[in-house]
Structure 1
Amino acid sequence: MARFNLLRSKAAPTSPAAPTSPASPVRSTGRRAANAHGSTGFLRDPRSELFLLAVANFVTQQTAYESGEARDGRFGALVRTLAVEDPEWTAGLLGWLRRDGNMRTASLVGAVEYVKARLDAGATGGPSNRQVVDSVLLRADEPGELLAYWTAAYGRNVPKPVKRGIADAVRRLYSAGSLLKYDTASRGYRFGDVLNLVHASPDPAKPWQGELFRHALDRRHNPETAEVPPGNRTLLAHRTLMELPVAERRAVVTAADGPERLAAAGMTWEALAGWLQGPMDAAAWEAVIPSMGAMALLRNLRNFDQAGVSDEVAARVAAKISDPETVARARQFPFRYLAAYQHAPSLRWAYPLERALGHSLAHVPALPGRTLVLVDRSGSMWSPLSDRSQLNRADAAAVFGTALALRAGDADLVQFGSTSKAVDHRHGESVLKILERFENLGGTYTAEAVRTHYAGHDRVLIVTDEQATYAYGGDPTALVPDTVPVYTWNLAGYRVGHAPSGSAHRHTFGGLTDAAFRMVSLIEDGRDAGWPWETGRADTAA
């Protein structure tokens, strides 16, 4: 969803020495500072701070303890510093963040700040500014989104590396289907505006793209007279549908070839609702469902039920959203499947969503021995992830914690806040059903939860925002023997951590996907865990 490219938006230190193995990349500096509760916590080096913030940062959104402005300012400052001091690492982070980390807006903002800092500093060497811009643009609406952020932050003078990086992405991403989907009047930068600014030449391997670019310019500047390219089947099919009288349109969706005609014309479900100028009944949904992507299907399960979509069509939807390859390509946050489960009224979606959730957590390790999993359910975890979402970090923590517990050989699953309690679970049980047993438990007495529930376990995993109240126990990892690994999974990216990290057996990771969980398996195998995007990542991390 666009955050910057709206109609109104147009214009305007050295890390500590590596610890003994097995080591993890997120490292404390040895310095202390107050956390959100005024308790003394642990500071991390700039790379570690940026990584944990980036993988949890929904740009422009406030959190329980940090305003959106302060959070974005800290993010931008860290990127600008490290873009100059460590460009290889920063470029690697930004590319990985957009792909495996699935943090779309943060990666776009990060790329802009990277380029601005390096241009201001006159920095040379390392990944080119052009390459970094291109690496974070994976969807056809994102070139306009990045331009909108640049011009809002730094004015209309867009430097050549930004233009060239966007032009590279435009050649990859612009097609007839993406034009119909994303080139709308609500955007401050339409496809034609982007082409005017960056002067992208068509991809020689796509002979149809030149005509498409000209059409994008025409429909932006002369919408009443813009001609559809005669050789573009998708745009021609779309024009044919748009020219049908309203009274004849519903007959298209009920016809035997209706789904094929809608797909050939690049008709999205959002566009179909307006085109019909009437309700999205079962027939309308059943005609467009075959061409809908997995995420669009996931968001509309409730609408399918309310419209009365047939069981046969619902079975095809269920098969698609739970297909492991489809889930892998969709790269959705695991808690999106929990949200769909909570909002879809029909039980026919429960099992497919359970399977999809499992596929989205493929990198959560199966740990041998005894494991204590502590899930933070304190008040600060309940604020929405964004102002357009009811999803929260408390539920994300419960998803990860439950998945860890179910895959471990022998696990104690505990939820904690100002009090703590065990969460009943058994192997083979539904993750979604177990999640219903979690509660809101108030304050963040992490150390007290460790003291109460640690009983000689082989490892401890704490899923939290790290803002512990030290009056109730201090550093929670100090209560576990030095020889026992403690893994903190950070879901918020605040500056101050609740414990040291980077030394042997004390590790911090983070994010809202399962990507970096691969690091845990490396450490359990006695190997160092590097950053997820480093060379040889198939054998290292995400």
Structure 2
Amino acid sequence: MRFNFTFRKNKPAQVINHEGAQAFQLTPALELYAAVATAALNDQFYENAGTRLQRLRELVAQNDPRFVAQMAVYARERLYLRSVPLVLAVELAQVHRGDDLVSRMVARVVQRADEITELLAFYALANQRQGPKTLNRLSKQLQKGLALAFNRFDGYQLAKYDRAGQVRLRDALFLVHPTAKSTEQQALFDQLVRGELPTPYTWETELSALGQESFATAEERQAAFRSKWEELIASGKLGYMALLRNLRNILEAEVSAAAMEQVCTSLSDRFAVARSKQLPFRYLAAYRELLQVRSGHVPRVLEALETAIGHSIQNLRGFEANTRVVVACDVSGSMQQPVSARSKVQLYDVGLVLGMLLQSRCANVVAGMFGDRWKRIALPRNQVLSNVQEFYRREGEVGYSTNGHLVVRELRQQREVVDKVMLFTDCQLWDSHNHGATLAQEWAEYRRSVAPQARLYLFDLAGHGNTPVEVRHNDGVALIAGWSDKVFDVLQALENGGSALSEIEQIEL
């Protein structure tokens, strides 16, 4: 991404949320976790990107440096986020010196060659500098970490990500002065400096070259692209993300049945899913795209996508047949915001995907959605993506406010005992009926009068820094944040007696 924001001072912390309702401020560590795990660094309903960046800067200064470094590595390696770990690296370098913590963190979070230039671009922005020549006073620890990162990339990776921008890889090479591991690597560095790295073989370059050719007829062009897609599929050089993003193109090229079978086999392969590190909502985006395609292969591909997303979460401890679970998804207006500027997927969708993934792994579960009202919806457990579509079709049935307290109120009034209540929300809950009701009050009364052992899990999908219930273990309340299937690793840690932060604090540096 391109960092294109200005920093400004935040107002003092408050204990009311963006809807003006009572809320509870998170501790600095929990707030950093929630802000990072939900960061797309794009405008959200309640908070724009510049405000989020400023808040991250302040939270870095408020937290222990080692925890910040662990958070950055956790975000990159467990949550599969790219830009926000680079922000944390730059901000930590501003406030922490005296050891090699920053360089070790940078070497871990920079996993693609273009992340070197992305980090430097943000460093220039954060220090109000322009262009590569103004980076000559780069933090020594950032410099050392980037030099270590340079040593990991081969000629293919350097060529693939040597793109035009505010900072080029060539500029970065001159700036950080990595020591080549071998004469072969030094030759690659020299080629990079001279602009002589060979153009890498990628599906993009192959299709781009084909697109430049002239064809006598539309049928000839269609045949050429069909042949090229079949070649790419057979070669095994079409990565998992590329496959996921090009399903519509492949189907519209009318590739052979054998090629489509190979596509479906690759999509649904358990190990390929694990290696690809896709965020769950990527499968939903692909699923929705295919619903518009006229092809007899679409049902088979939809089935493969259902299988793939099912692989992303396995058995969870503490969700046996006798464990009663409520999964409640926020479908309010503030949740209907895209997760990034270029995405068609909304926070609303992320909550539904994660909620339906959780439902698919629970043996005794009630699922539903809340807005003005709370409504239970019974759907098959093993159809995650089609269930999301069904929720999406019916979301207007409950309105667009954020009355999350009604989920627990119904349980209390019906004296229905459950073990776990899971709310997937942006945490900006309020009582649109102006009766002063709150989730905190309802939860305390439910625990007191109906189910003393029940636990409430808030899945925070926005990271605004406050919650409708105080996050306290003794009150049976826990916070889990993020968009990845890895939120369920945190859920597992909670079942094992840990916390959201314990997963992060176990990261070794």
Global fold match (TM > 0.5): yes
Question: Does residue 1:199 correspond to 2:177, yes or no?
Answer: yes
2:266 equivalent in structure 1 = 320
2:429 is matched with 468
Q: Which residue of 1 aligns with 2:208?
A: 274
Tell me what 1:72 maps to: 53
| Consecutive aligned runs of 4 or more in structure 1 exceeding 4 Å deviation | 363-366, 525-530
> In structure 2, which of residues 138, 151, 172 is the aligned counterpart of residue 171 of structure 1?
151
2: CA distance, partners of 1:141 / 1:362: 33
Report if aligned partners of 1:365, 1:520 keep a CA contact under 8 Å in 2: no
CA contact (8 A) 1:363 1:515 kept: no
> Per the alignment, in what secondary structure is the counterpart of residue 505 of structure 2?
coil
Alignment of 1:416 with 2:416, yes or no, is: no
Q: Contact 1:324 / 1:356 at 8 angstroms: preserved in 2?
A: yes
Show CA shifts across 1:240-268 (max 9, x none): xxxxxxxxxxxxxxxxxxxxxxxxxx321
Question: Residue 415 of structure 1 aligns to a residue in which SS?
Answer: strand
Specify the code of the residue in structure 2 equivalent to 1:341.
Y
1:47 is aligned, of 29, 33, 47, to 29
Q: Which residues of 2 match residues 509-520 of structure 1 at below 5 A?
A: 509-520=480-491
Instruction: Kindly state the Cα deviation for residue 190 of structure 1 after the two structures are TM-superposed.
Output: 2.3
Cα 1:299–1:365, aligned 2, differ >3 Å: closer, same or farther?
farther
| RMSD of aligned residue pairs (Cα, Å) | 2.1
> What is the aligned partner in structure 2 of residue 381 from structure 1?
335
CA change 1:268–1:418 in 2 (3 A) is same
**Whole-angstrom CA distance in 1 between matches of 2:281 and 2:500:** 26
The reply on whether 1:160 has 2:140 as its aligned counterpart is yes
What residue is the counterpart of 1:329 in the other structure? Answer: 275
CA distance in 2, matches of 1:466, 1:423: 22
Superposed displacement of residue 88, structure 1: 1.4
- Are 1:364 and 1:404, in contact at CA under 8 Å, matched by a contact in 2? no
Q: Alignment partner for residue 449 of structure 1, among 407, 420, 424?
A: 407
Which of 347, 350, 367 does residue 299 from structure 2 map onto? 347
Match of 2:75 among 66, 85, 97: 97
CA shift digits 1:162-214 (9 cap, x unpaired): 111111001112x2211332113x3332221111111112123xx42111110
**Which residue of 186, 189, 194 corresponds with 1:210?**
186
Alpha carbons 2:30, 2:501 under 8 Å: kept: no
Distance 1:268 1:194 in 2: 24
1:129–1:162 contact (8 Å) kept in structure 2: yes
Structure 1 residue 326 displacement after superposition:
1.4
Of 62-71 and 49-58, deviating more is 62-71
Q: Hey, what does 1:131 align to over in structure 2?
A: 104
What are the superposed Cα offsets for residues 327-347 of structure 1, whole Å, 9 maximum, x if unpaired? 112111101101101002322
In the alignment, is the contact (CA less than 8 A) between 2:331 and 2:400 conserved in 1? yes
Q: Matched residue pairs, number?
A: 455
Q: Which amino acid aligns with 2:205?
A: A
Cα separation, partners in 2 of 1:49 and 1:171, compared to 1, 3 Å: same
Q: Hey, what does 1:183 align to over in structure 2?
A: 162
- Aligned 8 A contact 1:463 1:489 in 2: yes
Query: Structure 1: how far apart are the matches of 2:93 and 2:499?
Result: 31
Q: Which residue is equivalent to 2:389?
A: 436
Structure 2: distance between partners of 1:450 and 1:530:
26
Contact 1:366/1:407 (8 A) holds in 2: no
- CA shift at 1:479, angstroms? 4.4
Question: What does 1:486-525 correspond to in 2, within 5 Å?
Answer: 486-504=456-474, 505-525=476-496
Q: Give the structure 1 partner of residue 218 of structure 2.
A: none
Q: Which of 52, 56, 68 is the matching residue for 2:38?
A: 56
Partner of 1:24: none
- What code does the residue aligned with 2:481 have? G
Distance (whole Å) between structure 2 residues aligned to residue 327 and residue 484 of structure 1: 34
TM-score scaled by structure 2? 0.85
From 214, 226, 246, give the equivalent of 1:300: 246
1:110 matched to 2:88? The reply is: yes
CA distance in 1, matches of 2:208, 2:498: 56
Cα gap change, 1:364/1:188 in structure 2, threshold over 3 Å: closer, same or farther?
farther
Residue number in structure 2 paired with 1:25:
none
Distance in 2 (alpha carbons) for counterparts of 1:374 and 1:390: 23
Whole-Å separation in 2 of the counterparts to 1:103 and 1:333: 9
Check whether the contact 1:366–1:404 (CA below 8 A) recurs between aligned residues.
no
Give the gaps of 5 or more residues in structure 2: 5-12, 214-220
- Residue identity in the other structure for 2:385: L
Aligned counterparts of 1:92 and 1:339: Cα–Cα separation in 2: 31
Ranges in structure 1 where 5+ consecutive residues have no aligned partner: 10-30, 220-225, 229-234, 239-265, 538-542
TM-score of the pair, normalised by structure 1: 0.80
% identical aligned pairs: 31
Q: Measure, in 2, the Cα distance between the counterparts of 1:32 and 1:519.
A: 27
